[in-house]
Structure 1
Amino acid sequence: MSVPRSLLRRIAALFGGIAALLASCRSAPPDLVPPAATDQPAPAVIGPIPGNKGSARISAATTERAYRQDGASHLYGLNAERIYKGQLPPLLYAIGTLQVHLDATGRVTGLSWMRAPRHAPEVIKEIEATVRRASPFPAPARIGRMTYTDTWLWDKSGKFQLDTLTEGQR
């Protein structure tokens, strides 16, 4: 009996979301927790930057490829109303592959396009702004400074999916 690919992707996305949720409950590795000046225990997680809606959690990923799930889940969480629900139509308005350069705390230090949707400069600007607003991403504590890559699948409605969490196309 064969299982439809779309069902497998949905199951994978569900387990990825559960893994991201569980990872957010972990405490920081000892080298990321500053020593306390008093006898008070050090905080377990690096806190959010005031005025920023970014993540305060630590990624458990040990490779850049494994980090994609955390990065995509983070972007989906901050942009829930902008995510295209269900399978994408056969023809997309724009597709672009973006590299996001992160420091060890998850702050975006730079962006570089591997494949930019040059026919849609407004999409390029919107994707870049969306990524910058999402900073800081989950801190790649086990990897340190890194580059996270994902492909953006953009519908003409202005909604998107990331290749890492896509529900496929019709």
Structure 2
Amino acid sequence: MAGTAVLLASCSSAPPPAPEQPRAAVVQPAPAEDPVARSAQPAPAMVIKTSAATNPRAYRQDAAQHLYALNQERIWKGRMPPLLYAIGVLQVEVDGQGQVRNLSWMRAPRHAPEVIAEIERTVRSAAPYPVPARMGKVVYTDTWLWHKSGRFQLDTLTEGQD
């Protein structure tokens, strides 16, 4: 029986070689950021504009231009259609550093609470506003003309309505 086992063992062929596995690429870790080098780089300068307005009506023009510059893709181009989704009149208090201190609705579009929230978010996120240098602080009022698409115009810079 031992002879049969030896005979059978000599008749079998070697198993085929295992298929070659793809080699994993060796990835070098990114070099750690040097906090000293990072702090040595100058931070981008934030340009805060100054308004020469001497009254709230004149400042309203500067504030509207500031809002338009930051929301170019959301501004309704051309004359607005006759039926708007919402119209709101908002009073904004801006301090001596251009920060929004208070928002007060004189006429809120209560039928569209999402518009109220979006206008408030837009106004607050646009800070700092041009610094009201000649007034110290300012409270100005503007009317928001809101289309159902989410685009808007401010009455101060409106192109009119059909």
TM over 0.5, yes or no? yes
Does residue 97 of the first structure (1) align with residue 92 of the second (2)?
no
TM-score by length of 2: 0.71
| Deviations 1:70-116, CA, capped at 9 Å, x for gaps | 00000000000000000000000000000111111110011000000
Find the counterpart in structure 2 of residue 119 from structure 1. 111
Does residue 76 of the first structure (1) align with residue 68 of the second (2)?
yes
- Give, in angstroms, the shift of residue 159 of structure 1: 0.1
Find the counterpart in structure 1 of residue 50 from structure 2. 58
Instruction: Give the 5 Å matches for 1:123-162.
Output: 123-162=115-154
Q: Tell me, what secondary structure is at the counterpart of 2:131?
A: coil
Q: Tell me, what secondary structure is at the counterpart of 1:88?
A: coil
Distance in 2 separating the partners of 1:85 and 1:146: 29
- Give, in angstroms, the shift of residue 148 of structure 1: 1.6
Q: Tell me, what secondary structure is at the counterpart of 2:52?
A: coil
- Give, in angstroms, the shift of residue 146 of structure 1: 1.4
Distance in 2 separating the partners of 1:82 and 1:131: 13
Distance in 1 separating the partners of 2:107 and 2:136: 25
Distance in 1 separating the partners of 2:138 and 2:130: 12
Distance in 2 separating the partners of 1:103 and 1:68: 14
Q: Tell me, what secondary structure is at the counterpart of 1:68?
A: helix
The number of residues matched between the two structures is 118
- Give, in angstroms, the shift of residue 145 of structure 1: 1.4
Distance in 1 separating the partners of 2:94 and 2:54: 15
Does residue 164 of the first structure (1) align with residue 147 of the second (2)?
no
Find the counterpart in structure 1 of residue 28 from structure 2. none
**Structure 2: tracts of 5 or more residues without a match:** 1-44
Distance in 2 separating the partners of 1:148 and 1:75: 14
Q: Tell me, what secondary structure is at the counterpart of 1:109?
A: strand
Q: Which amino acid aligns with 2:148?
A: K
User: Which of the pair has more CA radius of gyration?
Assistant: 2
Does residue 109 of the first structure (1) align with residue 101 of the second (2)?
yes
Distance in 2 separating the partners of 1:143 and 1:117: 30
Q: Which amino acid aligns with 1:90?
A: P
